[in-house]
Amino acid sequence: MAGSNANLNPAGPALRVDKLAKRFDGAAAPVWSDVSFDVPAGQSVAIIGGNGTGKSTLLRCCLRLIEPNAGQVHLHGETLTGKPAGHLRKMRSNVGFVFQKHNLVPRLSVLSNVLHGGMARSRGPRHWHHALASREDREYAMHCLEQVSLAHLAERRADHLSGGQSQRVAVARALMQKPRTIFADEPVASLDPQAGEEVMETFAKLALDHGLTLVFVSHHLDHALHYADRVLGLRDGRLDLDAPTASENLESLRSMYD
């Protein structure tokens, strides 16, 4: 369990969600409504629930990648709801988002793909290819690769990586942003069990070593129990579970799917 960073910043939560609701056009009922929770800085949180309960939708609404229909989202003490695009870009730069699909550029090197993470903070060709990057940025990108134990593959083309290696490069790319928080949407869903464990171990180590807040969506209940301090469960259009993982087990979490 991630535990050690659970209350790293007593001054306020990294993420605060207040009475959030989402309904898609034409739907008879909301995906979920009246969802509220706080995530303290440095805590690791797993979001679980059955298919169609809106786990990924909730994660995206927390960054306004999908617009909620009601409620408020506060990220690192600042509200995201109702803010203009420029403000959103600035706030999103503090959050590394790791998707189920790795979204690497296949023909470019691992190092160049990691450098792309710098685009969250500033634009320009020097973030596109390692040959154009500043020495400082290249060195930091190599440092990010060292954090995920892939520095030896810096020059390899991304389309020559295994699935697990690709996802760890995606994690390094997120680190290139110098984030305070990482969101991960089913980050191991496309990986075999061993590669999935390696990726989750990487997340856990980074959260512990750097005091990062981690919020991840998972269908793997054992991952929720082992790698999160806390678990949030969605069921029947609402937040049905909010508990420390120390108080839960596989049987209790499986009841969320009944």
User: What is the per-residue pLDDT across 227-257, written as a single tens digit (0 to 9) for each?
Assistant: 999 999 999 999 999 999 999 999 999 999 8
Q: Which two tokens stand for residue 122?
A: 């500033």
Residue 131 neighbours by CB distance under 10 Å = 10
Residue-range domain boundaries for the chain? 1-94+181-191+213-258, 101-179
Q: Are 48 and 93 in contact (CB under 8 A)?
A: no
What CATH number matches the domain at 1-94+181-191+213-258, 3.40.47.10, 3.40.50.300, 1.10.490.20, 3.40.50.11810? 3.40.50.300
Q: Are strands 44-49 and 230-235 parallel, antiparallel or unpaired?
A: parallel
pTM: 0.89
Q: Are strands 78-79 and 95-98 parallel, antiparallel or unpaired?
A: unpaired
Q: Are strands 78-79 and 70-75 parallel, antiparallel or unpaired?
A: antiparallel
| Residue 6 exposure: Cα atoms within 13 Å on the Cβ side | 13
Q: Please report the pLDDT score of residue 128 as a whole number.
A: 55
Q: Which two tokens stand for residue 243?
A: 């508990």
SS3 state at 215: strand
Q: Please report the pLDDT score of residue 103 as a whole number.
A: 85
SS3 state at 202: helix
The more confidently predicted of residues 106 and 130 is: 106
Q: How far apart are CA 90 and CA 64, in angstroms?
A: 13
Q: How far apart are CA 28 and CA 139, in angstroms?
A: 52
User: What is the per-residue pLDDT across 186-204, written as a single tens digit (0 to 9) for each?
Assistant: 999 888 899 899 999 999 9
How does DSSP assign 13-81, residue by residue?
EEEEEEEEEE--TT-SS-SEEEEEEEEEET-EEEEEE-TTS-HHHHHHHTTTSS--SEEEEEETTEE-T
State yes or no: pLDDT of 145 exceeds 90: yes
